[in-house]
A and B are shown apart, each in its own frame.
Chain A
């Protein structure tokens, strides 16, 4: 398996108009033997979540650290898989929730911001969603709190790796809610994939899908990104991704957009 992970966060057209920086974050681990991690978080960006860029950064950092720590603790892929199957939306989600909130309190305190407000109001200032995957030799684990898409693409397939509740409008589940972990969903899927054939996982914030009229058009787009990499290599996408995501936001829904690709060739 030769996995390449890359991505980009583009400031949305709407934030560009008011000179507000992009509220999304993404991160990856592609150096750990046997483990690849890709994660994306979408800061809410509203007036009530003024530090959501920091909240999304904390979300991706926590996801990466917690997942990697568990992987190293188990030191056995089968045992790690069993844990994630049983506890992906349970104990693991609770740890993510707890560590994100702990991280937010640290950030808030370090920045000398107002501590004389209830914790739930502090969390709200940093509100963010979180999606992420871990790709191992035998399985892939996907995790999600709030909106966003994790899509699997190969020569014959385009499908959601994990299906989140679709909340209409502009509302989402969020790490900033008390007991956010209860709204986490996770899935473990065995990789009955031929690793010698190219395949791709694509993680995107909701601004990406919302820039297309239908789910089919979104899937068509995922497929075309895959085909482009397959025909012309990863650089064909990586070198243009920033420009394309900006264009997608300006001609689409206007939201910040992040796309992360884990492409196997």
Chain B
């Protein structure tokens, strides 16, 4: 097939990008080569719109062993142990085929982690759906949850935490972000950099089929009404094979046979081979007839662009082929020597004894397009003038009921009960807490992980929103007693070709970077998902942050359930009464404008570290961060989890009671302490200039707000736990 500009454009390339290809090659590419360029140069693989801005992220720190640029990030957790982790999106496929889209998203991220030699020890996910009124939402939610469970449960990796939200802006584009953490010895980490000449290049795992061809290109385009026709580009997952692949790879990794290893994810054999060659500054020669194929008569083009799952590419030490083959035979997986490393610095493909592609590796990687797209700075919206009489007319009990049972606050038990969260026998904090926590097997250490996003805040003001999400994950980790170490980010946005969307991206990234830098909480891995829009309607900017922290002694882990009657509850951090963009404002007052709550990084850091200090001294019995729905919502959750009540005493403030209870000011926590420790705790808080109020005392089975307003724990439970289940039934 002769290639021309029209065919290039059908491959998603722009006219000037095609011209650049011809110029770099000094000739017209053939169809296989064009396919390879289109796969490497699409947004998903090349980060062409985001690269220039991602450089600004804060990525360094004392605990960082590997930052962005590898299959996943790696952090040091002492004693020779390291945690490998990353989050990735699988948004587009999940909208088209929710079960397989979500399942292969989970499979892909786990592969990224075990490619580096780490055994996956925990999965998390952040999933976002359209309005609960939208007729597609229910099926999409059901399919995605089944898919995540179907894959993760079979792999035997616990799903320990997650986030689910509903917002109209996801009606035509749901988000499915999957995160995995793995455990590895610091001196047994594997990388994707090839080295040495004439080293065998090995293909292992499943056979290659025609599924997923051009999946990465699909993820780099917006949707239109013909989206259902794209079903064949969604890959099909096989968690059983992945489980075998995991065990086989870890078995091979325990020896010294591997030089470099890379999973075949987006753009399959193309990106994995090119990545390894590029990092090693080498060439690679592949005989495509040697690639194990599932279907007959597959062309070089199809073999190179297939996104069949559960496959790996390995550069082996010469002479280790037999040892490696024996392991993969034991696990019943395909094993084939398909090529070798060369000094040409080209990727050379052969098929039926003919050369079918010959491309300099640097043209695909270093010379890939990079755009400094136009972007629009957003202004901080004006504060709303909230009518005090409207606020005063609200009944606390009714308002709380509506908030506790609202889709974004209600219990997500219906979802996480479908995920195996206890396999591997080390889950010490299950979903439903501030962070999931797993022990580091056979040690006293534990790893806490959380995932969060706040699209509403980011939409109202991207810079503040970006900071806020980072701080929210920081607080989630602190609340379980973990010292936050690093984050991974999944940046979900609309089209970068629109100035508003690009502006949201640039400013969210800036906010993330500022917060990460201030908190010494670097970004070590991540991915970008643009073009989350259908028929020109984009999603709200949704950067998702996955935070990871360390608990040195797992017995000191904190949970949010109230522990003991007569203990005192303190609010840490100042309550100013910020209502704009709060849940109260949006679902009770029907007001969607105004600025998000301000983020004060000094307070965030100071409050968090002071709490860790108090936890170290065993003063804190339970803790929970204050987020959506404010203090009263957070208190309700502590009550219903602990099956205990609270006698609230509202501190003397100038702000209205409703504002005090429902405001979403940042940097706040609720902590439970023993009354006898109050003096000592106050001293430490005062010394560190941490603002606190005493909000009440724990009592039995009832939340008493004032003499007229009382709620039983059973009432709180029924508001919070029933909504999702009855919605789905």
* Chain B binds chain A: no
Interface residues of A (CB under 8 A from B): none
